[in-house]
């Protein structure tokens, strides 16, 4: 695994030992960033089931100002720290060992707001729609925030969910990526909702 583009391009990233963590492949990572825009102009990113931290590091390398990494597994958190150091982004990273629900409540208390959110949990978890609702209810999203859900291709999330609209869906073998935008104002005209691949 490596950082594909931007400031930390080419830097190698460690994987989490064992079979419990499934890192996003470089191919899927490249596809994700081609779908959501290859480069960013600041803003905060949240890598909620961070694993190796690869998605959040890639976002920072491509212009996100800061990334918050959350994982409940101690080994994963240790690997994220090493990968953040390898990318030389220590000053732009916050790393927490916590489960998703408690992390979201803690971030809400600090009034954090994110422009970009990555949800890449173990494939047996198919409740990212609930996590998205929690993100909205906790006031953690900027208007027009982008949420990237990586999941088992056998599972399909709804195209519309509250204030979220799915703008892209793509499959790569047994992996699927569903991308949503968040619009908490009634100004959406539905355009782009049929761009599924």
Instruction: Quote the tokens at residue 50.
Output: 């961070």
The pTM of this model reads: 0.91
CATH of the domain at 34: 3.40.50.150
Domain residue limits at 153: 26-162
Instruction: Answer yes or no: is 182 within a domain.
Output: no
- Does any domain span residue 16? no
- 114 within domain boundaries: yes
In 10 A of CB 10, how many CB atoms? 9
Q: Tell me whether residue 10 is in a domain.
A: no
C-alpha dist (Å) from residue 63 to 54, 148, 171: 15, 17, 26
Q: Enter the tokens of residue 5.
A: 């583009």
Q: Tell me if 5 is assigned to some domain.
A: no
Report the domain count for the chain.
1
102-153: pLDDT as tens digits = 999 999 999 999 999 999 998 889 999 999 999 999 999 999 999 999 999 9
Residue 11 within any structural domain of the chain: no
In a domain, 179, yes or no: no
Task: Output the pLDDT for position 19.
Answer: 55
Identify whether 131 is part of a domain.
yes
Q: How far apart are CA 140 and CA 46, in angstroms?
A: 10
Q: Could you read off the pLDDT of 45-74 as tens digits, one per residue?
A: 999 999 999 999 999 999 999 999 999 999
Residue 193 has pLDDT above 50, yes or no: no
């Amino acid at each position: 695994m490596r950082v594909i583009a931007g400031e930390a391009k080419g830097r190698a990233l460690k994987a989490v030992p064992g079979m419990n963590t499934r890192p996003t492949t470089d191919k899927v990572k490249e596809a994700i960033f081609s779908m959501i825009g290859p480069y960013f102009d600041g803003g905060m990113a949240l890598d909620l089931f961070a694993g190796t931290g690869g998605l959040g590091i890639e976002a920072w390398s491509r212009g996100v100002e800061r990334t918050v990494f959350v994982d409940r597994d101690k080994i994963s958190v240790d690997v994220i720290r090493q990968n953040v150091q390898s990318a030389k982004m220590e000053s732009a990273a916050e790393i927490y060992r916590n489960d998703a629900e408690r992390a979201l409540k803690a971030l809400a208390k600090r009034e954090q707001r994110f422009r970009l959110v990555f949800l890449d949990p173990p494939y047996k978890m198919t409740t990212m729609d609930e996590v998205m609702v929690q993100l909205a209810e906790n006031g953690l999203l900027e208007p027009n925030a982008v949420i990237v859900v990586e999941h088992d291709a056998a599972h399909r999330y709804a195209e519309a969910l509250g204030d979220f609209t799915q703008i892209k869906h793509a499959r790569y073998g047994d992996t699927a990526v569903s991308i949503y935008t968040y619009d908490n104002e009634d100004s959406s005209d539905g355009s782009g909702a049929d761009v599924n691949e």
